[in-house]
Amino acid sequence: MSDRRTFLKCLASIAPAITFSELFAAEKSSAHQALVIGNGLYPDMPLSNPVNDAKAISTLLQRAGFVTDTQINTTRSSMVAAMERFIKSIKQSQTKVVVFYYAGHGAQLDWRNYLVPVDATVTKRSDMQSRCVDLNNVLGQISEIKDKTFIIILDACRDDPFGNSYKLESKGLSQFDAPVGSLLAYSTSPGKVSSDGSGENGLYTENLVRELSLQNVKLEDALKRVRLNVRLASNGDQIPWETTSLESDVILFASANKKQSAGDLERTIQEEIADWTKIKDSKIEADWIAYLRKYPNGRLSEVAQERLNRVLAEKTAQKNSLTTMSSSGSSSKNKNEAAQTKSSSQANKGASKGNMAAFAPPSTGGAIRLGPGLVVPTLWKPSQNPYSAGRYHFARVFTVGDQAKNQMSDVLSGVKGEVRVATVTRVDPDSDIVEINNGLISMDLMGNALSVREVKFDTPLTFTPVEYQIGKKWTAMNTRTVNGHKSIVTFDLHIAAVEKVRVPAGEFDAFRIEADGWNLTNDIKLNETHWLVPGLNSMIKREVIRRKRNGVITHSERTELMELYQQKTLVDVSA
């Protein structure tokens, strides 16, 4: 019973506090301000939905207690004037939460985004700068305003904004990493265009209004549901995205009695785990869609998103290969390759300690060999965009026989410990399992741990995100069992930066993932930092520190990559 009391006590201590955002609907106040612009009346390339979209968003925000300035079919002068008034107003000390929404034509030039007024005539590059409104300047001003929460929503990626008068070099909008305390939401991915829609509202804003209107829903959770809904409705042609550096939760409509008891929280956690257990082996698209809609920011949402991606990809591949399989006889070949992948008979059966197996230099384009004295290939290229580090798929693919050699040491003293060699001995795509050193360690296909030596996890511990993007946040939680003793572990994770990291295997541009958590049962503070590179199955570096509540360190460990042999990767290493 003592463990359960500790668990409930810790759960209560981490329960989300009621923030200022939950008081939005109380009354209109200059503390909550919004500027909403809808441009559709373009002479050459009119849009049918932005005006309706802007009015729908304006109504929603007014219901949520925002003082809202709504501008329809704005010329450049009126748009600039509205923005200047808006910036001046939100600089007032009492302003806490700010929303800027724009629907209409938008375009990018030299990594800068421009909003298009209805009177803009653009026939050359310089016209973009002089006759449109530079959104980057607005974002720059916002980044200088402290102690406020900014929400910027752009439904502005329609095709051919200038018709035949000027053809853009790049479609859609350019990515811009969110300044501290802000969230930027775009109706579709960088460089892509979105549909104006055939109904009263555009596809994106239609879903946005519906999801934001729900009671007690966090903004980031609502946007994840919007992304899923739009992606499915457009058959993958339009996938909204966000970049965030929010420092507090934003809830437009919250009930006064939102705070849950420890018992409520425990039931919520158990319900999520039960729902996960029901579908964890499912190949049915609808199962994963329902799970993600119910738990958009759940403890296993990253894994669920990747499994949905896999199901959708397999569905597409099956459609595309129906005719070719019957004519080429490739079906038996694929079955043989799958059987070989699942088999561990050809795998290196060495122990976890010792040397790497002797491998010839890779002769195939997908293979990677890393180690002292070897040239580190270009695994990924940080975006040339000066306003963003970009967004990248995790791109892991495990093959029987892959190996990684790591140096263990103490984080605080630097004293070196043992050298460990991890060899992939089994890959089972159907069961979503990768085994290391004949089962000493097991992971899912994303590389999230299922068991590590004597430690067993009831669900994957989600330390690998589906995508790498600065500011990305997610949660991870599971029950771990060690020699019959169970404990609850929870983490809040985010991608903090891209930085150069030097380890014995070489120097890498890596994403730094910071994880803060608790072992709720044992009352131990958990801090981990991982450095990951898109396309590599092994982490570059990892630091783990565990503390008691009084600050006494109970564990300190660093892992650094020394050598790697990886037969396949989803990134292009030919450059």
Mean of pLDDT values over 92-118: 90
Topology of the domain comprising 347-566: YmcC-like fold (2.40.360)
Cα-based angle 188, 194, 199 (whole degrees, multiple of 5) = 125
Whole-number Å distance between alpha carbons of 445 and 19: 38
| pLDDT tens, position by position, 323-379 | 454 444 444 444 444 444 444 444 444 445 556 776 544 444 468 999 998 999 888
Statement: residue 90 has pLDDT above 80: yes
Q: Which of 142, 203, 126, 132 is nearest to 176 (CA)?
A: 142
Half-sphere exposure of 479 (CA within 13 A, CB side): 14
Q: Which of 91, 139, 99 is nearest to 115 (CA)?
A: 139
pLDDT tier at 456, thresholds 50, 70, 90: very high
Q: Which of 400, 402, 386, 409 is nearest to 504 (CA)?
A: 409
Question: Can you give the three-state secondary structure of 164-215, one letter per residue?
Answer: CCCCCCCCCCCCCCCCCCEEEEECCCCCCCCCCCCCCCCHHHHHHHHHHCCC
Tokens 């994840």 locate to 224
Residue 153: the pLDDT is 95
Residue 321: the pLDDT is 66
Whole-number Å distance between alpha carbons of 569 and 565: 11
Residue 351: the pLDDT is 44
Contact 443, 464 (CB under 8 A): no
Identify the helix (H) or strand (E) that includes residue 275: helix 262-279
Topology of the domain comprising 18-244: Rossmann fold (3.40.50)
Domain boundaries defined on the chain: 18-244, 347-566
Statement: residue 91 has pLDDT above 90: no
| Mean pLDDT across the chain | 84
Residue 447: the pLDDT is 95
| pLDDT tens, position by position, 540-549 | 999 999 999 8
Residue 362: the pLDDT is 44
